[in-house]
Structure 1
Amino acid sequence: MARTPWLTIIGIGEDGPEGLSPASRAALEQADVMMGSARHLGLLPETTAPKITWPVPFSDGLQVLQDLKPRRVAVLASGDPFWFGAGSVIARALQPDEWRAIPGPSTFALTAARLGWAIEQTTCLGLHAAPLTRLRPHLAAGRQLIVLLRDGPAVTELGHYLDGQGFGDSNLTILEALGGPRERITDACANDIPHRDFSHPVAVAVACAGAGQPLPICSGIEDGFFETDSQITKRPIRALVLSALAPKPSELLWDIGGGSGSIAIEWLLSHGTTRAIAIEPRPDRADRIRRNADRLGVDRLIVHLGSAPEALTGLPPPQAVFIGGGLSQNLLQDLHQTLPVGTRLVAHAVTLESETLLTEWHGRLGGEMLRIALSETVPLGPKRAWKSAYPVVQWRVTL
């Protein structure tokens, strides 16, 4: 018969032991030590087993936990510990046979049950330690969101943020201490939050409404979404770049010569698991990339200050690379020698010299060459005429 792991992660709600399953109650009764936040430990009755308050920062508690081994330890976490909870962090620090988990109902499930929302059609976000800007890609009239917040004051901050994005008409259902004796539910409009304190733990259900501009879900969003000093891959070209790069879940992009960060940001907007590093030699542009990424809800973008190829040393290997600036023989040679087989490379050239360079490498490695020549209408006296942009040559190859 398999031995019971020394650690049990127990999902507990605001109703305390009353809401626990028989298995969770048995694990608590058998525990030699209990560990969790002060709020969770306070839900339990007096017991002979010692209670240890999880320290701040959270990572410090992992060593405390390891030092308790092999005593039987019960760790208390909110609701479902593996849905924006502590469960995955603890599990990664231990061997698979050292722990087990007994989840409880998540706050998302309890909220959906209160409101009658189909949870599979609702976006669920945990923003305990994340900026409100992560909401930006999800904001659109008619969308339903359930958001977990770090504390009561964050409710007012959420209302201000939604209003600032043009979604001040959104209906908010503010749910405090859901499922317990302190439960309180308040309906409000995002632009008219009641002037009172809200208690932790708090979740907010958002029924999005308003005239705010949603982020398009296609590649090549409007240039106006980005702050720029005119160093930006323009919308039609950007759509072709993203199509050539072909982002896939969990993949990493190197965006060399980040400019405004538009390529890396759209790569990240394509899927929640994608990753990107923008390499930019100018500090002012690097700061601008960070601001654009934060404002558009992809603060996971890493901005690496420096010039390629020197700045590429030590970076994790990518699945795709875009060269939008700084194209040189040395850079292409370095990428050819160091990138893993199968890496997708897309490079752009505008000058005759850089076009010659790409033509040379296309002859060596193959791939596809595309010449992009765009024109747009401009006034010409009382009439209109076509104005051509500089043509762009795109080289696309899989190494």
Structure 2
Amino acid sequence: MHEAPWLTVLGLGEDGLDGLSPASRQVLERAEIIMGPPRHLSLIPDSTAQRVEWPVPFADGLPVLTGFRGRPTVVLASGDPFWFGAGSVIARNFEAWEWTALPGQSTFSLAAARLGWPLEATLTFGLHAAPLTRLRPHLSPGLRAILLLRNGAAVTELATYLTETGFADTRLHVMEALGGPRERSRSVSLTEALLGGFDHPVCVALEVAGEGRALPKSSGKPDEIFETDGQITKRPVRALTLSALAPHRGEHLWDIGGGTGSISIEWLMCDPTLTATTIEPRADRAERIRRNADALGQDRLTVIHGTAPDALDGLSLPDVVFIGGGLSAALLDWLYATLPAGTRLVANAVTLESEALLAQWHEKRGGDLLRIELAQAAPLGPRRGWKSGYPVVQWSVTL
């Protein structure tokens, strides 16, 4: 039978003790150790408790916190610790019986209340340590979103990013120190935001407007959004390939022969719980995949410069594998010998040799074999005719 929790994750607002419930006040009074960022510690009056500043980077604080195990300890967090806060990190690193949480009012709730926006129809982002490019798949005229930013200078960076992506008519609602005596709210244009002068802590609500290109939500994103040297799975084939890969929540993809990275990037765009690793033998293309992923807000893509199957050793096993390049009998043998039953595999072939290989493996292992032939209207003298692309043979199978 476990003892009572020794660790409390306490959500704190900018009004300090004034916004705390009686239960939260009692926890603070009984604490031997209070740990948190300097700003949060400054909101708590002096007491007999030992005060410990949470170090930067954040992960360095976990061993320090572990050293207090068994002693009444309070970790201070902003608002609701489980909404882009420290709560989930602590929950992953400590047993469930060791900790409890007393959430405060979230910054998102306070911001929505100031603006009169329904939260269920508003996107929320925690961009304290994440790049602004995380916004890119969502940017579209009419979007409303609330962002948590790392500091006041990030407001100017946000205004610059929105201008560069074509959404220069966006209106920003900049809110500083919400819920506290220093609270200040301003609605500004991007031009005004570029002048700076904003103080931390800050959140920004966006009303997106402008002539920027909105990315479609369907599979088969426009080819033009990817930097490429011509080695790219074209949009219609990419849409059919994503359909065959059939991403499910929480799955991990191996994209072998990444090329431009379009398959793994679109895979990640389907759902924020998806993960992917792409393997590319050419260094220049691996670097290009990294640039594409970062520019399109998919910085969580892992890019490996190497050749399969050698580069696959030691990687976390996938739920789904896509082979877009480097197809060989040796690679298929390795995948069948190494991956667990139930792993889904999709392979695309263009050459006669790789097409013949897929036909042999389809006969041996089953699955579905699909031939994709597409033609596009193009000038033909003074008239128009159909210009056919190379046919693509696609094999889909469950190991």
Which TM bucket (shorter chain)?
over 0.9
SS class of match (2:243): helix
Q: How do 1:68-87 and structure 2 match up within 5 A? A: 68-87=68-87
The residue that corresponds to 1:119 in the other structure is 119
Q: Which residue of 1 aligns with 2:364?
A: 364
Letter in 1 for 2:60: D
Counterpart residue identity of residue 150, structure 1: R
4+ residue segments displaced more than 6 Å: none
Q: Aligned Cα RMSD in Å?
A: 1.2
Query: Within 2, Cα distance between the matches of 1:272 and 1:380?
Result: 45
Q: Is the 8 A contact 1:167 1:190 kept in 2?
A: no
Structure 1 distance, partners of 2:274, 2:196, is: 39
Deviations 1:305-349 (A, max 9, x none): 101111111111111111110010100111111111111111111
Equivalent residues in 2 for 1:4-43 (5 A)?
A: 4-43=4-43
1:349 aligns with 2:349: yes
1:230 to 1:67, Cα distance in 2 relative to 1, 3 A: same
The SS at the match of 2:57 is coil
Residues of 1 paired with 2:126 and 2:306: CA distance? 33
2:218 pairs with 1:218? yes
- Counterpart of 1:371 in structure 2: which amino acid? R
TM-fit CA distance, 1:60: 1.7
Structure 1 Cα separation of the partners of residues 321 and 50 of structure 2: 53
Q: Paired residue for 1:335? A: 335
- 1:3 deviates by 4.7
| Rounded Cα–Cα distance in structure 2 between residues aligned with 1:351 and 1:158 | 46
Q: How many residues align?
A: 399
**Cα distance in structure 1, aligned partners of 2:110 and 2:261:** 39
**d(CA) in 1 for partners of 2:86, 2:23:** 20
* Distance in 1 (alpha carbons) for counterparts of 2:163 and 2:337: 50
- Per the alignment, residue 275 of structure 2 pairs with 275
Letter of the 1:117 counterpart: W
- For 2:355, give the aligned amino acid: E
* C-alpha separation in 2, matches of 1:26 and 1:80: 19
The residue identity in structure 1 corresponding to 2:39 is: R
Residues 268, 274 of structure 2: 8 Å contact kept: yes
* Amino acid in structure 1 at the alignment position of 2:346: V
For residues 214-236 of structure 1, the C-alpha deviation after alignment (integer angstroms, 9 at most, x for no partner) is 11110101100100000000001
Change (3 A) 1:346 1:194: closer
Q: Per the alignment, in what secondary structure is the counterpart of residue 304 of structure 2?
A: strand
Q: In 2, distance between residues paired with 1:372 and 1:28?
A: 65
Q: What is the SS of the residue equivalent to 1:88?
A: helix
- CA distance in 1: counterparts of 2:107 and 2:279, whole angstroms: 39
**Structure 2 equivalent of residue 185 of structure 1:** 185
Amino acid at match of 1:149: L
Q: Distance in 2 between matches of 1:157 and 1:259?
A: 31
Contact between 1:169 and 1:191, CA under 8 Å: does it hold in 2? no
- Provide the residue aligned with 1:310 in structure 2: 310
| Structure 2 CA distance for aligned equivalents of residues 4 and 106 of structure 1 | 27
- Asked if structure 1 preserves the Cα contact closer than 8 Å seen for 2:128 and 2:149, the reply is yes
Q: Distance in 2 between matches of 1:2 and 1:341?
A: 39
- Quote the residue 1:244 is aligned against: 244
Q: Distance in 2 between matches of 1:205 and 1:253?
A: 34
Q: Which residue of 2 aligns with 1:63?
A: 63
Name which of structure 1's ranges 164-173 and 60-69 shifts more when overlaid on structure 2.
60-69
1:207 alignment counterpart:
207
TM-score by length of 1: 0.98
Deviations 1:78-129 (A, max 9, x none): 0001111111111222111111000000100110011011001111000000
Cα distance change of structure 1 residues 36 and 319 upon mapping to structure 2, 3 Å threshold? same
For residue 59 of structure 1, give the secondary structure of its aligned residue in structure 2.
Answer: helix
In structure 1, the gaps of 5 or more residues are: none
In the alignment, the residues of structure 2 paired with residue 18 and residue 394 of structure 1 have an alpha-carbon distance, to the nearest angstrom, of: 63
**Compared CA separation, residues 195 and 287, structure 1 to 2 (3 A):** same
User: In the alignment, which residue of structure 2 is the partner of 1:299?
Assistant: 299
Looking at structure 1, the residues matched to 362 and 183 of structure 2 have their Cα atoms a distance apart, in angstroms, of 65
**CA-to-partner distance for each residue in 1:257-278, whole Å, 9 max, x for gaps?**
0000000000000111111111
Q: Distance in 1 between matches of 2:183 and 2:192?
A: 21
SS in 1 for 2:193: coil
TM-score by length of structure 2 reads: 0.98
Aligned counterparts of 2:2 and 2:269: Cα–Cα separation in 1? 44
Task: Provide the C-alpha distance between the structure 2 equivalents of 1:341 and 1:192, rounded to a whole number of angstroms.
Answer: 57
Q: 1:164 to 1:171 in 2, by over 3 A?
A: same
CA contact (8 A) 1:188 1:194 kept: no
Identity %: 62
Q: Deviations over 1:178-235 (max 9, x none)?
A: 1101111111112431624211110000011111111111010110010000000000
Q: Which residue of 1 aligns with 2:261?
A: 261
Runs of 5+ in structure 2 lacking a partner? none
Question: 1:12·1:76 contact (CA, 8 Å) conserved in 2?
Answer: yes
Pairwise CA distance, 1:2? 8.1
Alpha-carbon distance between aligned partners in 2 of 1:259 and 1:69, rounded to the nearest angstrom: 49
CA distance in 2, matches of 1:211, 1:358: 45
Distance across 1 between alignment mates of 2:45 and 2:20: 13
Classify the secondary structure of the residue corresponding to 1:100. Answer: strand
CA–CA distance in 2 between the matches of 1:85 and 1:113?
A: 20
